[in-house]
């Protein structure tokens, strides 16, 4: 600008004319600038509104329209007769989405007030909100009354992030009876959400996935297809109107081999004991019942595990959270004796071959005692009288390798292809196993211990039931949990019908003849049950005699059985932890099989017992919960952050518990050297246990410890 | 003008009044929709306010040049006192202290200062001997006149209004013929000082707004929410909009303040690009009339006053539209003649009244440039 350079030197020369000119120029500049800005704005608007219109229209729609998933109704779990073991119940529920809640504590306080929650429940909700990743809904309460639901709905504008809705919740009609078998459902955790590609269904309030056992195994089939609802919402989330709704598709039902009433009966019959009962169909391998008690109530677990309930279950020394059918490992004791006889038969031992039991028997250079003095013993007597000496002798003769091979064939130490989250396979000891595990040579006393199901031997109740079924039929029966129409075909073991019949008869004599389980006789004239008792010692005799004293030190009681003995249809096993001997186990087996053949008779036997115990399993659990909650008050520590942790911990503890017998297997206990004569032993045993002539298969120690 | 139309009507500045009525009417329609299809609470009070302030503008337009010049300094002084009173006894609203409660209305003196500052500067330069223009004596008093109220408004704190004041004042200085290099130097100084002012002078919430403006998608649910939702509203309107009363962004509350700062977005959602062009065009007509009034004015006072008033309204419009389109940070500046709000309507109608006043002076003593 010329004026600029001029004024650099002569700044004074400003006149009215130059000012007017400057004004005209500068207002023109301003006008041009204004016009430029106007054009810029128009262009910018055109760009946004026309060039990018599609994008913004989409964003506007996604603002306006809220697509919410309707959680699919979960498929039912049915028993073999089509009765539901797990179904759905319509209910009202309230969830909270922490990310959308500015002040969760206040919101929870308001909800606590409206819904009348107790302090522990409120503390659980607060803890879950704290632990949650934020975008996942946290259940505040379910199973609400309509009034409560309506009260929350009305106050929604003051409760951001709270989602009340009508939905379906899982319902287990027989509660604790099926807890371990079926598992429970719960909201997906953060890992599951990530693992399933952030499936939005998993963070839909009210949607739950299977968390344990069958619920988890059949998740994909049970899940169903979610419905969807398109609604117009305001920025604060208020629904203005429904636009479109697609109904959900319920998940497929899964039909199990379980016999619902039998499962429930067995669970109730176990009563106050801690134990398990498995019943199988010998012809198909169908598992008719696998009860493990005490148990938890999957109904309350599915609503989120409360801290009071969790503390009660955790503190219980009978470990209600452990599925003892699959994860309880016990020395099988004498229950393996019939199976060992099959091994002897296979190795060429004739049933008529006898040995002399003199209250024990010398194996190698040591004397190992028997629980009684049996005199001359053949195979049948060895089974029904449970003579230990017979097994010491022939196990040593055929070699334990040979016996262990048959144990595996019969299902011990094996896992089965079942839809379960985990099963322990236990131990069938043999020289190679011992070498690998402890780097020690196999000793004669290992053969002696193992031959009567002690020492390192560990089996689960399921394995014992499978063994029993295979023993009864001579077929390699495979257990199954899912019902199909086709009848499976099993490989037949190479035994003659006579050999099988011989063992069946001996096992029948255990119950119906001169055997160890006379009280296990079925109350039917035409149906006879065959069986074999077993007692497993848990601590050394120096600590406890296994019959009395602290519960934890009492012997486990075991019983394997099949019926009818001459044409086996059902087989099973009962294991009672610390029952003080097999006398705790076989009455349960007897009543369960009675129920199997005649439910009315079975219930007759159960009713007086339950009266004595204080109600059904469900009633007792509820009463216990109330008592515990009242005693614990409000000072109950919270549950672990993820339910999975609870069961991981339970499983870890189960593994530790299973290793417990190893201590006895290795110990050499001098107090057990038997210096008495055979007659004295016989008399002493007979007088000690007049009603329960059972084989106490306490791990015999070598009589000359080196 | 033809003889059919009576002279008192024909001589009114219809070039400005027509687009003004369009804006007011259009604004009322948009406010009707922003209230969810209701005349209350926005649209009816918007029209009523206009009907109150329009006569006020006509009254202002009747003032003579001498009267305006005479009252320039006293008016300025009164507003300064009111600004100081705001600091002392004003009440706090929305995080800053801007209002005086007069009993019948809440007055925002910083709004009155916008035309007041233009008036006093026009008065100052009109009477400044021409020879003093390139000297410090033309700058220092003016800088004081601008700086004092700007400082008071900054204390409130109200960044948007202080910028508006500075812009109006600078425009008057610019057209008053001050040497151009001073403006270049001031611009250079501002470029240096701006970052310092940004980091040490601004409130954290204001700094955040600037960051948000630079990257609105960074925080779509927090500070970027306003800009993002505003762009969605404008963008989803397309060429012709979603239709009257059909805007989902405004009706479902996604758009913040659909009746004040973001009224243009509300409008654009329902009327589209075409509606936007109408609004921008109407403002363009008003500004071109304002500048024409300034250029037609014969004396310095009228020229400076008209330019300053036009620039003041322009600043509102430009900043508001740039803000809603994501070209400027979010500052609380409404859109003149459309947004719901009494203070801004009053300020803008004072500006319009002043422009009409200058236009009337021009008509009485038309520029004699053709003759001389």
Q: A636-673: per-residue pLDDT in tens?
A: 666 666 666 777 777 777 777 777 666 666 554 332 33
Residues 6+ apart with CB under 8 A from A590: A519, A520, A521, A522, A529
Residues 6+ apart with CB under 8 A from A370: A357, A359, A360, A361, A387, A388, A389, A392, A681
Q: Give pTM, 2 decimals.
A: 0.66
Instruction: For residue A630, name the pLDDT band (cuts at 50, 70, 90).
Output: confident
Residue A182 included in any domain: yes
Check B180 against A59: CB less than 8 A apart: no
Residue with tokens 């508006």: B164
- Are the C-beta atoms of A507 and A530 separated by less than 8 Å? yes
- Domain co-membership, A246 together with A284: no
- Are the C-beta atoms of A393 and A442 separated by less than 8 Å? no
Check B135 against A240: CB less than 8 A apart: no
Range of the domain at A24: 13-44
- Are the C-beta atoms of A364 and A442 separated by less than 8 Å? no
pLDDT tens by residue, A234-265: 776 677 777 878 888 888 999 999 999 999 99
Chain A CB contacts of B273 under 8 Å are 45-46, 49-50
Check B276 against A234: CB less than 8 A apart: no
CA A266 to chain centre: 17
d(CA A615, CA A644): 31
User: Rounded to a whole number, what is the distance in Å from the CA of B81 to chain A's nearest CA?
Assistant: 32
d(CA A462, CA A425): 10
Q: Which of B231, B311, B325 lies nearest to residue A41, judging by beta carbons?
A: B325
Give the residue from A4, A49, A53, A55 with the most B CB atoms within 10 Å of its CB, the best one to mutate. Answer: A49
Closest chain B CA to residue A100: B221
Beta bridge partners of B117: none
Residue A531 included in any domain: yes
Residue A251 included in any domain: yes
Give the residue from A12, A15, A41, A234 with the most B CB atoms within 10 Å of its CB, the best one to mutate. Answer: A41
- Are the C-beta atoms of A126 and A104 separated by less than 8 Å? yes
pLDDT higher than 70, residue A689: no
Of A144, A140, A164, A145, residue with least CA distance to A154: A164
DSSP string, A580-603: SSGGGTHHHHHHHHHHHH-HHHHH
Check B235 against A1: CB less than 8 A apart: no
Chain A CB contacts of B254 under 8 Å are 63-64, 234-235
d(CA B354, CA B61): 6
- Domain co-membership, A513 together with A644: yes
Mean residue pLDDT across chain B: 86
293-312 in B: which are within 8 Å (CB) of A?
294-295, 300, 303, 307, 311
pLDDT higher than 60, residue B85: yes
Check A236 against B253: CB less than 8 A apart: yes
pLDDT at A554: 87
- Domain co-membership, A274 together with A218: no
d(CA A294, CA A288): 19
Indicate left, alpha or beta for A396 from its phi (over 0: left) and psi (-120 to 50: alpha): alpha
Task: Indicate the length of chain A as a whole number.
Answer: 706
Q: Which helix (H) or strand (E) holds A162?
A: strand A162-171
d(CA B37, CA A458): 79
Chain A CB contacts of B229 under 8 Å are 63
Joined tokens for residue A313: 């279950």
pLDDT at B366: 58
CA B296 to chain centre: 22
d(CA A370, CA A353): 19
Chain B CB contacts of A46 under 8 Å are 273
Chain A CB contacts of B238 under 8 Å are 49-50, 53, 57
pLDDT (mean) for A377-383: 90
pLDDT (mean) for A680-693: 39
Chain B CB contacts of A9 under 8 Å are none
Residue A152 included in any domain: yes
Instruction: For residue B336, name the pLDDT band (cuts at 50, 70, 90).
Output: very high
d(CA A279, CA A623): 29
- Are the C-beta atoms of A537 and A237 separated by less than 8 Å? no
Taking the Cβ of residue B161 and every Cβ of chain A, the question of whether any pair is shorter than 8 Å is answered with no
Check B295 against A27: CB less than 8 A apart: yes
User: Rounded to a whole number, what is the distance in Å from the CA of B108 to chain A's nearest CA?
Assistant: 27
- A571 exposure class (CB count in 10 Å sphere: 0-12, 13-18, 19+): buried
Closest chain A CA to residue B307: A27
Helix-strand-coil split of chain B, %, nearest 5: 70, 5, 25
Mean residue pLDDT across chain A: 82
Last residue of a domain, one of A221, A240, A255: A255
Closest chain B CA to residue A234: B252
Give the residue from B235, B262, B271, B317 with the most A CB atoms within 10 Å of its CB, the best one to mutate. Answer: B235
pLDDT at B215: 63
d(CA A185, CA A208): 6
Check A235 against B179: CB less than 8 A apart: no
Residues 6+ apart with CB under 8 A from A54: none
Q: How many CA atoms lie within 13 A of B24 on its CB side?
A: 21
DSSP A86: E
DSSP A555: P
Count the neighbouring beta carbons within 10 Å of the beta carbon of residue A607.
Answer: 10
- Domain co-membership, A291 together with A405: yes
pLDDT higher than 80, residue A529: yes
Give the residue from A7, A12, A23, A57 with the most B CB atoms within 10 Å of its CB, the best one to mutate. Answer: A23
Last residue of a domain, one of A205, A229, A255: A255
User: Rounded to a whole number, what is the distance in Å from the CA of B6 to chain A's nearest CA?
Assistant: 33
pLDDT higher than 90, residue B277: yes
The helices-and-strands tally (H runs, E runs) of chain B is 14, 3
Check A50 against B238: CB less than 8 A apart: yes
Instruction: For residue A706, name the pLDDT band (cuts at 50, 70, 90).
Output: very low
pLDDT (mean) for A411-434: 88
Chain B CB contacts of A41 under 8 Å are 280, 318, 321-322, 325, 327
Residue A58 included in any domain: no
Closest chain A CA to residue B317: A38
Angle at B43 between CA B37 and CA B45, to 5 degrees: 145
- Domain co-membership, A381 together with A428: yes
Check A11 against B135: CB less than 8 A apart: yes
- Domain co-membership, A251 together with A364: no
| CATH number of the domain bearing residue A228 | 3.90.1310.10
Of B113, B5, B121, B56, residue with least CA distance to B356: B56
d(CA B150, CA B137): 20
pLDDT at A189: 79
Residue A477 included in any domain: yes
Closest chain A CA to residue B282: A38
Residue A566 included in any domain: yes
Joined tokens for residue B152: 């008071």
Q: In what order do the strands lie in the sheet with A65-70?
A: A65-70, A227-233, A239-246
User: Rounded to a whole number, what is the distance in Å from the CA of B331 to chain A's nearest CA?
Assistant: 17
Backbone torsions φ then ψ of A104, nearest 5 degrees: -60, -35
Joined tokens for residue A250: 């319920």
pLDDT higher than 60, residue A674: no
> What sign does the dihedral A505-A506-A510-A513 (CA atoms) show?
positive
- Are the C-beta atoms of B251 and B236 separated by less than 8 Å? no
Check B177 against A23: CB less than 8 A apart: yes
Residues 6+ apart with CB under 8 A from A451: A340, A388, A391, A392, A394, A395, A396, A400, A403
- Domain co-membership, A517 together with A654: yes
pLDDT at A672: 31
Residue A85 included in any domain: yes
| CATH number of the domain bearing residue A322 | 3.40.710.10
d(CA A652, CA A670): 33
Task: Indicate the length of chain B as a whole number.
Answer: 372
Check A19 against B287: CB less than 8 A apart: no
Backbone torsions φ then ψ of B286, nearest 5 degrees: -65, -40
DSSP string, A18-81: HHHHHHHHHHHHHHHHHHHHHHHHHHHHHIIIIITHHHHHHHHHHHHEEEEEEPPPPPPEE-TT
- Domain co-membership, A245 together with A281: no
Taking the Cβ of residue B175 and every Cβ of chain A, the question of whether any pair is shorter than 8 Å is answered with yes
Which of A152-156, A216-220, A358-362, B364-368 has the lowest average pLDDT? B364-368
Q: Is A232 helix (H, G, I), strand (E, B) or coil?
A: strand
User: Rounded to a whole number, what is the distance in Å from the CA of A190 to chain B's nearest CA?
Assistant: 23
User: Rounded to a whole number, what is the distance in Å from the CA of B130 to chain A's nearest CA?
Assistant: 6
Chain B CB contacts of A3 under 8 Å are 180
Size of interface A-B (CB pairs under 8 A): 142
Q: Which of B130, B233, B295 lies nearest to residue A14, judging by beta carbons?
A: B130
Residue with tokens 């029904």: A384
- Domain co-membership, A397 together with A503: yes
Give the residue from A8, A17, A28, A60 with the most B CB atoms within 10 Å of its CB, the best one to mutate. Answer: A60
Residues 6+ apart with CB under 8 A from B224: B212, B215, B216, B217, B218
Taking the Cβ of residue B321 and every Cβ of chain A, the question of whether any pair is shorter than 8 Å is answered with yes
78-117 in B: which are within 8 Å (CB) of A?
none
Q: Which of B237, B280, B294 lies nearest to residue A41, judging by beta carbons?
A: B280
Check A234 against B252: CB less than 8 A apart: yes
pLDDT tens by residue, A268-279: 898 888 899 999
- Domain co-membership, A118 together with A201: yes
Q: Which of A42, A56, A236 lies nearest to residue B235, judging by beta carbons?
A: A56
Of A410, A414, A437, residue with least CA distance to A425: A414
The helices-and-strands tally (H runs, E runs) of chain A is 27, 19
Residue, of B337 and A566, whose pLDDT is higher: B337
Residue, of A677 and A43, whose pLDDT is higher: A43
Q: Which of B171, B177, B322 lies nearest to residue A22, judging by beta carbons?
A: B177
Expressed in angstroms, the distance from the first to the final Cα of chain B is 26
> What sign does the dihedral A599-A605-A607-A613 (CA atoms) show?
negative
Taking the Cβ of residue B208 and every Cβ of chain A, the question of whether any pair is shorter than 8 Å is answered with no
Closest chain A CA to residue B288: A31
pLDDT (mean) for A204-221: 85
Taking the Cβ of residue B182 and every Cβ of chain A, the question of whether any pair is shorter than 8 Å is answered with no
User: Rounded to a whole number, what is the distance in Å from the CA of A231 to chain B's nearest CA?
Assistant: 12
pLDDT (mean) for B157-162: 82
pLDDT at A691: 38
- Domain co-membership, A247 together with A281: no
Check A44 against B325: CB less than 8 A apart: yes
- Domain co-membership, A367 together with A340: yes
Count the neighbouring beta carbons within 10 Å of the beta carbon of residue A88.
Answer: 17
Check A12 against B131: CB less than 8 A apart: yes
Q: How many domains does chain A contain in total?
A: 3
């Amino acid at each position: 600008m010329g004026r600029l350079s001029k004024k650099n030197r002569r700044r004074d020369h400003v006149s009215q004319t130059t000012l007017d000119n400057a004004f005209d120029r500068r207002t023109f500049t301003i006008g041009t600038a204004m016009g430029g800005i106007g054009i810029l704005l128009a262009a910018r608007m055109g760009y946004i509104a026309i060039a990018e219109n599609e994008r913004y229209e989409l964003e506007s729609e996604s603002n306006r329209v809220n697509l919410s998933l309707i959680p699919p109704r979960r498929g039912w779990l049915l028993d073999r007769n089509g009765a539901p073991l797990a179904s759905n119940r319509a209910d009202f529920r309230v969830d909270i989405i922490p990310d959308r809640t500015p002040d969760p504590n206040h919101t929870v306080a308001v909800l606590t007030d409206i819904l009348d929650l107790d302090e522990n429940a409120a503390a659980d909700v607060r803890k879950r909100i704290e632990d949650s990743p934020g975008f996942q809904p946290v259940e505040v309460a379910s199973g609400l009354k309509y009034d409560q639901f309506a009260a929350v709905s009305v106050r929604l504008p003051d409760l951001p992030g709270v989602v009340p809705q009508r939905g379906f919740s899982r319902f287990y009609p027989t509660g604790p009876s099926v807890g371990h078998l079926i598992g429970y459902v719960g909201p997906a955790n953060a890992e599951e959400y990530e693992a399933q590609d952030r499936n939005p269904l998993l963070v839909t309030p009210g949607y739950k996935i299977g968390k344990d056992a069958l619920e988890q195994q059949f998740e994909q089939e049970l899940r169903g297809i979610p419905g969807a609802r398109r609604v117009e919402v305001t920025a604060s989330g208020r629904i203005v109107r429904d636009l479109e709704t697609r109904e959900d598709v319920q998940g497929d039902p899964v039909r199990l081999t379980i016999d619902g009433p039998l499962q429930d009966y067995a669970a109730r019959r176990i009563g106050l004991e801690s134990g398990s009962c498995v019943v199988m169909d010998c012809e198909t391998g169908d598992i008719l019942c696998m009860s493990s008690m005490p148990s938890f109530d999957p109904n309350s677990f599915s609503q989120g595990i409360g801290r009071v309930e969790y503390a009660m279950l955790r503190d219980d020394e009978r470990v209600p959270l452990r599925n003892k059918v699959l994860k309880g490992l016990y020395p099988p004791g004498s229950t393996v004796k019939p199976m060992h006889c099959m091994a002897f038969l296979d190795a060429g031992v004739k049933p008529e071959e006898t040995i002399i039991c003199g209250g024990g028997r010398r194996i190698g250079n040591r004397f190992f005692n028997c629980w009684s003095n049996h005199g001359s013993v053949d195979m049948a007597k060895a089974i029904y009288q449970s003579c230990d000496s017979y097994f010491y002798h022939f196990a040593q003769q055929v070699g334990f390798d040979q016996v262990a091979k048959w144990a595996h064939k019969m299902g011990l130490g094996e896992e089965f292809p079942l839809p379960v989250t985990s099963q322990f396979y236990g131990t069938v000891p043999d020289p190679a196993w011992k070498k690998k595990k402890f780097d020690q040579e196999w000793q004669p006393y290992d053969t002696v211990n193992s031959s009567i199901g002690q020492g390192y031997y560990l089996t689960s109740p399921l394995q014992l039931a499978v063994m029993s079924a295979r023993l009864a039929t001579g077929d390699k029966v495979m257990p199954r949990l899912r019902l199909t129409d086709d009848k499976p075909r099993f490989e037949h073991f190479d035994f003659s019908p006579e050999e099988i019949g011989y063992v069946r008869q001996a096992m029948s004599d255990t119950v119906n003849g001169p055997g160890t389980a006379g009280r296990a006789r079925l109350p039917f004239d035409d149906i006879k049950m065959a069986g074999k008792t077993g007692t497993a010692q848990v601590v050394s005799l120096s600590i406890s005699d296994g019959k009395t004293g602290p519960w934890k030190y009492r012997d486990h009681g075991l019983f394997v059985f099949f019926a009818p003995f001459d044409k086996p249809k059902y087989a099973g096993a009962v294991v009672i932890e610390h029952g003080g001997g097999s006398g705790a186990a076989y009455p349960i087996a007897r009543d369960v099989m009675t129920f199997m053949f005649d439910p009315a008779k079975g219930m007759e036997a159960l009713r007086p017992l339950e009266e004595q115990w204080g109600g059904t399993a469900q009633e007792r659990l509820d009463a216990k919960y109330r008592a515990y909650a009242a005693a614990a008050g409000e000072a109950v520590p919270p549950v672990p952050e993820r339910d999975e942790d609870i069961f991981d911990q339970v499983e870890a503890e189960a593994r530790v518990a299973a290793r417990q017998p190893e201590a006895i297997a290795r110990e050499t206990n001098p107090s057990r050297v038997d210096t008495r004569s055979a007659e004295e032993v016989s008399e002493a045993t007979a007088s000690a246990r007049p009603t329960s002539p059972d084989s106490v298969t306490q791990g015999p120690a070598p009589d000359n410890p080196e | 003008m033809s003889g059919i139309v009576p002279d008192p009507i024909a001589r009114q500045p219809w070039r400005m009044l027509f687009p003004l009525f369009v804006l007011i009417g259009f604004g009322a329609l948009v406010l009707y929709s922003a209230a969810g299809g209701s005349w209350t609470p926005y649209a009816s009070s918007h029209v009523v306010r206009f009907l109150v302030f329009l006569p006020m503008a006509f009254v202002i337009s009747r003032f003579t040049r001498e009267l305006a010049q005479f009252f320039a300094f006293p008016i300025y002084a009164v507003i300064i006192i009111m600004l100081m009173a705001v600091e002392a006894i004003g009440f706090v609203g929305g995080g800053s202290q801007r209002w005086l409660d007069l009993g019948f209305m809440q007055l925002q003196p910083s709004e009155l200062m916008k035309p007041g500052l233009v008036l006093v500067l026009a008065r100052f330069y009109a009477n400044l001997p021409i020879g003093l223009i390139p000297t410090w004596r033309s700058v220092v008093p003016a800088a004081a006149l601008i700086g004092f109220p700007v400082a008071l408004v900054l204390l409130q704190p109200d960044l948007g209004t202080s910028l508006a004041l500075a812009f109006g004042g600078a425009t008057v200085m610019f057209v008053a013929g001050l040497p151009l290099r001073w403006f270049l130097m001031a611009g250079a100084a501002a470029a240096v000082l701006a970052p310092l002012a940004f980091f040490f002078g601004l409130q954290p919430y204001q700094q955040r707004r600037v960051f948000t403006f630079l990257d609105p998608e960074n925080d779509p649910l927090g500070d970027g929410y306003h800009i993002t939702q505003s762009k969605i509203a404008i963008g989803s309107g397309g060429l012709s909009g979603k239709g009257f009363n059909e805007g989902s962004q405004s009706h479902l509350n996604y758009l913040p303040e659909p009746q004040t700062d973001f009224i243009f977005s509300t409008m654009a959602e329902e009327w589209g690009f075409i509606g936007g062009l109408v609004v921008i065009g109407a403002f363009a007509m008003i500004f071109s009339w304002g500048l024409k009034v300034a250029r037609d004015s014969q004396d310095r006072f009228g020229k400076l006053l008209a330019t300053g008033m036009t620039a003041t309204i322009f600043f509102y419009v430009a900043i508001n539209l740039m803000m809603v389109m994501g070209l400027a940070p979010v500052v609380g500046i409404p859109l003149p003649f459309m947004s719901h709000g009494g203070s801004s309507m009053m300020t803008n109608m004072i500006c319009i009244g002043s422009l009409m006043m200058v236009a009337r002076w021009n008509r009485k003593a038309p520029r004699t440039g053709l003759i001389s």
